[in-house]
Amino acid sequence: MKKIKIGSSDIKASLIGLGTWAIGGGEWWGESEEELSIKTIQAAIDSGINLIDTAPGYGFGKSEEIVGRAIKNRRSEVIISTKCGLWWQDSRGSEFFKHENQTVNRSLEPDTIKAEIELSLKRLNTDYIDVYFTHWQSMEPHFTPIKETMDCLMDLKRQGVIKAIGASNVTRENICEYTKYGELDVIQEKYSMLDRRIEQELIPECISSDLSIFAYSPIEQGLLTGKIGRDYVVNPKEARASNPWMAKDRRELVISMLESWQELTAKYNCTLTQLVLAWTHSQAVTHILCGARKPSHITEATFSAEIELNEEDIKRMKNDVLNLERK
């Protein structure tokens, strides 16, 4: 598996990373089988994936705990990426959403960050975090200036508690603030062929500032695998319910487009998932986070890193998506 340096740090992480949001289970993803999840994480490491991305907000700590169990005695083999900024232990911060009887606030105050990282270290059974992201950015009415947040993160970095700093769900202006007050190495943003918003401002800014990009949801919560059919019924409580591409009429358009790519999957001897991931890493993102709950998902994702699409096919897929969006 190809390893790529993260920003200006000395950390090299695999092109394909394992995203563990679904492993956290709960209403959004359904109950998670912990032993199967552990086997999945270990299969990822065995396959050459060394980047594992998690967060306290994934199952209210459950994802981090499972990752911690899975990497026991293998800590030196992995790059752990986790986050701060979603806070539910008390009323500090600005209310973001309610879920499973919890009120989740956005808080990037130094005191909540310090409390969060201690909790994450304990769940992950480690004494340092390789890449530490601000999960969501601070907002009114309890807004914390980025300078204060970055001062805290830089202090944690000087202590060796974190090795690199990242920011997720940001604007171009946020990036400029982070780089003004400290050492930002990477951003993490939603990116797929159906959601290319970061191409407008964030990708150019990252290129000019030598920042890496972790792309999450590259297969649109399973839609771009071709395994979600026309008759799929979306549970209103699951994570997919908020995805506009899951609406029946729009899903129909996507499925028809995917069916038209059968000649491409035959040409590259790959699945639709692998084709879509190969297209994604042909774009200006450095690392792709793929969710997986079974070891078989790992095998499919890792092979995609070996596929090199020719320029003509990359353009064809992009044009097909543009035509889809016009309908």
Q: Tell me how far CA of residue 222 lies from CA of 227, 232, 243, 260, 308, in angstroms.
A: 7, 12, 11, 18, 22
**φ/ψ of residue 17, rounded to 5:** -115, 155
Sign of the dihedral defined by the CA atoms of residues 325, 230, 239, 142, in that order: positive
Beta bridge partner(s), residue 86 = 106
* CA distance linking residue 72 with residue 169, whole number of Å: 30
Which member of 58, 132, 216, 268 is catalytic? 58
Rounded Cα gap, residues 246 and 252, in angstroms: 9
Among 29, 14, 32, smallest CA distance to 80 is for 14
End-to-end CA distance of the chain: 38
Q: How far apart are CA 238 and CA 236, in angstroms?
A: 6
Using an 8 Å Cβ cutoff, are 289 and 218 in contact?
yes
Long-range Cβ pairs for the range 34-39 (8 Å, 24+): 34/66, 34/69, 36/293, 36/294, 37/66, 37/70, 37/293, 38/66, 38/69, 38/70, 39/295
Task: Round to whole Å and give the CA distance between 125 and 134.
Answer: 20
**Catalytic: 58?**
yes
Helix spans in 202-310 (H): 202-209, 248-259, 262-267, 272-281, 295-304
Catalytic residue positions, numbered: 58
